[in-house]
Amino acid sequence: MNKFIREVRSTRNEAPCILVGTKNDTREDPYYREGRRFLPIVYGERVAQLTGCLAYIETSAKSTYNIEVLKQAIVCAEQYCIVPKPIEKKKCMLM
């Protein structure tokens, strides 16, 4: 995970990042839990804090848990994103 965050930061340091934990619904599924280790939510929050992410949000596409919260966080992060000014006035560039 840290490798990916470093890669994003090396190319777009000012880009806002949100760390997302997926498959939250499997935490309570005894069949899925067997033989697997789940990290505590506070671990994800701490990693997000240490790597400069705006937030840590656990989601589940299956149960739609926190999907709307994630969408709102993305919109909020996008509003504060620094968009570089284009070098030439002919074209606008969004990254």
Residue range 2-79 in CATH 3.40.50.300:
yes
81: left (phi over 0), alpha (psi -120 to 50) or beta: beta
Query: Cα separations (Å) of 90 from 23, 33, 82, 83?
Result: 44, 55, 20, 16
Phi, psi of 16 (to 5 degrees): -70, 140
Model confidence, pTM: 0.69
Smallest CA-to-CA distance from 55 within 69, 37, 65 is with 69
Smallest CA-to-CA distance from 2 within 52, 73, 67, 57 is with 52
On the question of pLDDT at 63 being above 80, the answer is yes
Query: 16-35: per-residue pLDDT in tens?
Result: 888 898 888 887 777 777 77
